[in-house]
């Protein structure tokens, strides 16, 4: 039962729809071919007494079973396809040779190009079909007046040749059209994926600063808290607020204010470069950051250095009472995996530290004592 279930399992690591289609075709074909070969082998052995054809049937059945094994165990579709195709080709050629076109025996030859092109692709399938029919044409032409008790004529040979050429052409063009359609479908899906990703990025990004927005903060904060617990890392959360930013806008105008926000955002991104750290613009002149780390002291040092980095941008701020340049105040809280705090509690602690930093003269960092 397990063998049968494995046989009907069509997953052999297909990377595209063409490969998946070829797996279905080759498995379906082998599923039919094996019992057919076994049946005719039995009939030719015990009832018709055509022992040579019975041997061919048995050999073809064994090779087909081997192709199934290659497909199931080694997950090698190209190898299984070639084994199955050459097995069918050899069987048909030997059958035609021994049958002599008796009782419409040549009807079996139409299956080779169909099978070869469908399971091997248009290029390899075309080469196999041309090779097959070259041998078949030679056999058919040299047997004029001999096959089918002398009734095989030049007209029959011409009909075989032209019908097989038309069949190969139709199958080749059909496969070419399918491959072209699949290629366009893959390209369309890739464009759709890029478009969806760009839409998602737009939905989570602040358009002015290119930092993550408040919506993404609300989405990611609980996930990062859970991640810090799983990995046993501390979560360092900080809130940053630009000092006297209302007065800056009143003095220099909102366009200059937007430019200042962009410069500060770029400085924050450049300063916090690790892939697993997150910087958000929560709104107005307020920013936030979430960092997961085992080295808490190091994180505290570079978060504390943010104030100097921003002041060193030397963005003129004549309305400030603490510096000739724009400065920021930062409130930080550190949460350990066992603290069990939610984002609202963490935010409140950092906000309290930020308030303390402002009360303490601004332009520096305060750490909460949670």
Residue 104 half-sphere exposure toward CB, CA atoms < 13 A: 2
CB-based contact 330:239 (threshold 8 Å): yes
In this prediction, residue 271 carries a pLDDT of: 84
CB-based contact 129:116 (threshold 8 Å): yes
pLDDT tens-place string over residues 122-145: 999 999 999 999 999 999 999 999
Tokens representing residue 223 in the block:
């996930």
Residue among 124, 85, 92 nearest 110 (CA): 92
Integer-rounded Cα Rg, in Å, for the chain is 37
160: Cβ–Cβ under 8 A, 6 or more apart, which residues? Answer: 106, 109, 136, 137, 140
In this prediction, residue 14 carries a pLDDT of: 57
Residue by residue, DSSP assigns 309-370 as HHHTT--B-TT-SS-SB--EEEEEEEE-TTS---HHHHHHHHHHHHHHHHHTTSSSEEE---
CA gap 149, 143 in Å, rounded: 10
pLDDT tens-place string over residues 237-293: 999 999 999 999 999 999 999 999 999 999 999 887 666 789 999 999 999 999 998
In this prediction, residue 175 carries a pLDDT of: 92
Alpha-carbon distances, residue 140 vs 104, 115, 133, 165, 168 (angstroms)? 13, 21, 10, 15, 18
Residue by residue, DSSP assigns 280-323 as EEEETTEEEEEEEES-HHHHHHHHHTHHHHHHTT--B-TT-SS-
Our CA angle for 135, 141, 147, nearest 5°, is 105
CA gap 226, 229 in Å, rounded: 5
In this prediction, residue 75 carries a pLDDT of: 81
Alpha-carbon distances, residue 337 vs 2, 229, 235, 347, 366 (angstroms)? 46, 5, 8, 16, 22
Task: Look at strands 328-335 and 234-242 and give their pairing.
Answer: antiparallel
In this prediction, residue 1 carries a pLDDT of: 45
CB-based contact 208:262 (threshold 8 Å): yes
User: What domains can be seen in the chain, in order of their start residue?
Assistant: 2-188 (no CATH), 214-367 (3.30.70.270)
Ranges of residues in the chain whose predicted pLDDT is under 50 = 1-5, 7, 12
């Amino acid at each position: 039962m397990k063998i049968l279930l494995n046989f009907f399992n069509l997953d052999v690591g297909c990377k595209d729809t063409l490969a998946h289609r070829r797996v279905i075709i080759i498995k379906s074909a082998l599923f039919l071919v094996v019992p057919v070969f076994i049946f005719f082998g039995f009939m030719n052995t015990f009832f018709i007494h055509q022992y040579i054809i019975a041997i061919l049937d048995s050999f073809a059945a064994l090779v087909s079973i081997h192709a199934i094994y290659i497909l199931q165990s080694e997950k090698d579709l190209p190898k299984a396809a070639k084994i199955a195709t050459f097995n069918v080709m050899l069987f048909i050629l030997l059958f035609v040779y021994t049958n002599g076109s008796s009782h419409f025996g040549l009807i079996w030859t139409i299956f080779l190009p169909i099978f070869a092109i469908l399971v091997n692709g248009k290029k390899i399938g075309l080469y196999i079909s041309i090779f097959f029919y070259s041998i078949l044409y030679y056999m058919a032409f040299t047997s004029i007046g001999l096959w089918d008790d002398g009734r095989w004529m030049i007209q029959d040979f011409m009909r075989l040749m032209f019908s097989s050429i038309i069949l190969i052409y139709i199958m080749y063009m059909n496969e070419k059209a399918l491959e072209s359609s699949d290629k366009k479908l893959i390209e369309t899906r890739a464009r759709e994926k890029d478009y969806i990703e760009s839409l998602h990025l737009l939905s989570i990004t602040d358009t002015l600063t290119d930092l993550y927005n408040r919506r993404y903060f609300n989405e990611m904060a609980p996930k990062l808290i859970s991640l810090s617990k799983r990995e046993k890392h501390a979560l360092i959360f900080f809130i940053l607020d630009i000092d006297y930013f209302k007065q800056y806008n009143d003095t220099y105008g909102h366009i200059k204010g937007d430019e200042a926000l962009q410069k500060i955002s770029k400085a924050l991104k450049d300063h916090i470069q690790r892939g697993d750290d997150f910087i958000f613009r929560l709104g107005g002149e307020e920013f936030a950051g979430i960092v997961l780390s085992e080295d808490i002291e190091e994180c505290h040092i570079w978060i504390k250095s943010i104030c100097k980095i921003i002041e060193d941008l030397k963005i003129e701020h004549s309305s400030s009472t603490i510096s000739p340049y724009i400065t920021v105040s930062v409130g930080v809280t550190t949460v350990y995996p066992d603290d069990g705090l939610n984002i609202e509690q963490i935010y409140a602690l950092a906000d309290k530290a930020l308030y303390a930093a402002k009360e303490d003269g601004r332009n520096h960092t305060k750490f909460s004592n949670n």
